[in-house]
Amino acid sequence: MTTHDDYRAGFRTQREEVDDTRLPVDGSFPDWLTGDLVGNGPGQFEAGDTSLRHWFDPLAMLRRFRIDDDGVRYANRFVRSRDYEFAAAGGGVRTPFPGTPPDRPVWTRLRQVLDGTFPDNPVIGVQRFGDEVAAVTESPTALTVDLETLETTGRKDLVAGLDSDLTLAHVHYDHDEDAFYNLGVSYGRETVYTLFRRPADGGAPTPLTRLRFGEAPYIHSFALTERYAVVTVNAFGLDTTRLLRGAVTKETFLDAFEPLDAPLRFLVLDRETGVREATVTASPAFVYHHANAYERDGEVVVDLVAFEDERAVTGLELSNLRSDDPDLPRGDLYRYTLPLTGGDAERERLHRGPVEFPVINYRAVNGRPHRYVYLAETDGGSSLPTDVTKVDVEAGTVRRWRETGAHPGEPLFVSRPDSADEDGGVVLSVVLKPAADRSDLVCLDAETLEERGRARLPHRLPYGFHGQFYGPSSPGRSMN
């Protein structure tokens, strides 16, 4: 039975929306920390009378923390997507969610398949386009929001100028070029991923290359070095026949997800021309998130979190995550070394998990050699992380922050403007406290992981996914 005093509180609906309000603060946030932390993630785990089945299905809720000399102000609001409005009107699930089929007549479901209709519920993260901030997911559409009120203000077509059905939610920002890199995806007789570059103001994209696959591998993110884009092609993907058949049978992305008869592949692409410089293979694995990648003496080093099998996706069914004894996939922090001559990768485990949400000092070291990776780590008996962990990948040492009975979210790094140190800054994390039926925004010293301050929210937030910090020291983006 789900109660408010354990990890299952992270998978329970919070319908309350809070307008801009000042939060009580224990300790203090550093004087130099000024800006907006904008996070995204689940808010509602039902659509009408339908209980959603997978962690990627719930309706998106933005949460914004405005930090300045006067303290911390907070607001949260559901993103008013078409999927949200349909559910709010009692219609249930409008479009095919990853684990939940639409509550629509069969002829409507068939039309959605033929038209290539995707959900517009942007539950994964946020992205900045010039002066606009938008909620995003793996979709052809982003929904823009007003950071003052968090009201949904418009829709942005992410595939205009691309021969793609949708784009990934994880983009890379190059501060020198003032541009984004991302992948578009199209499905058909073959699956095509298009690497493209887009001006930071959200202007027209420039396609760089198209990667064609006979099967349908799933790609969630990629890595960027100073010269290359490293596209990590998972050894797991979709049975497209089963997915198409789902219009009649109500089978979903989750039902169609399966191992492929292929290794894990790293495609090293010239980020200016799109030319493939190398294809490097490794034993089958599944990757959601990369920490970083960089070049070294004729090879590329990639640090990422890898899982051994498809349970990285199928194991995130809400019935499993809410169970008394959840059977969780375990992701470990690995280093893959990719020879630019191609062939096989070398793999070294840097830290045994379960870990996820790897974060670096993005502004300082993305695409260049790094020393520190921050992660959310789980120490058994829970579906949610229990620690913020800092791994020194050079020395092999580990630091942790933990609070009994609390579940920290993604550890988001914000650099101190006057620091030349890679770990000179703070780590921000939204921490779920089930026993208090509340969440806190916790500020940790990035060097020591000692707590500096916390802002106490007026309610509990469901466990979130990804966010960004936008401020004078991180104007474009703070993580991948």
Question: What CATH number should be reported for the domain holding residue 330?
Answer: 2.130.10
pLDDT band at 479 (very low <50, low <70, confident <90, very high): low
Residue 143 CA to residue 122 CA, distance in Å, equals 7
Chain centroid to Cα 278, Å, comes to 27
Name the residue range of residue 31's domain.
7-470
Domain assignment of residue 84, yes or no: yes
Strands annotated E in 163-284: 166-167, 172-174, 179-186, 191-199, 206-213, 222-224, 228-233, 236-238, 257-259, 264-270, 276-282
**pLDDT by residue (tens digit) across 232-271?**
999 999 998 898 888 899 999 999 999 999 999 999 999 9
**pLDDT by residue (tens digit) across 446-470?**
999 999 999 999 999 999 999 999 9
Domain assignment of residue 476, yes or no: no
Domain assignment of residue 480, yes or no: no
Residue 176 CA to residue 357 CA, distance in Å, equals 25
**pLDDT by residue (tens digit) across 18-53?**
999 999 999 999 999 999 999 999 999 999 999 999
Total tally of structural domains belonging to the chain:
1
Between the alpha carbon of residue 74 and those of residues 21, 71, 173, 207, 312, the distances in Å are 5, 10, 26, 39, 32
Question: For all residues of the chain together, what is the average pLDDT?
Answer: 94
**Pair 18, 440: CB distance under 8 Å:** no
Residue 122 CA to residue 432 CA, distance in Å, equals 22
pLDDT at residue 380 in the model: 78
**pLDDT by residue (tens digit) across 334-379?**
999 999 999 999 999 999 999 999 999 999 999 999 999 999 999 9
Domain assignment of residue 408, yes or no: yes
Domain assignment of residue 24, yes or no: yes
Domain assignment of residue 362, yes or no: yes
In 179-291, which residue ranges form alpha helices assigned H by DSSP? 240-249, 253-256
Domain assignment of residue 208, yes or no: yes
Which pair of structure tokens corresponds to residue 211? 């990667």
Residue 3, pLDDT > 80, answer no
Residue 5, pLDDT > 70, answer no
Domain assignment of residue 139, yes or no: yes
Q: E strand or H helix at 110, and its extent? A: helix 106-115
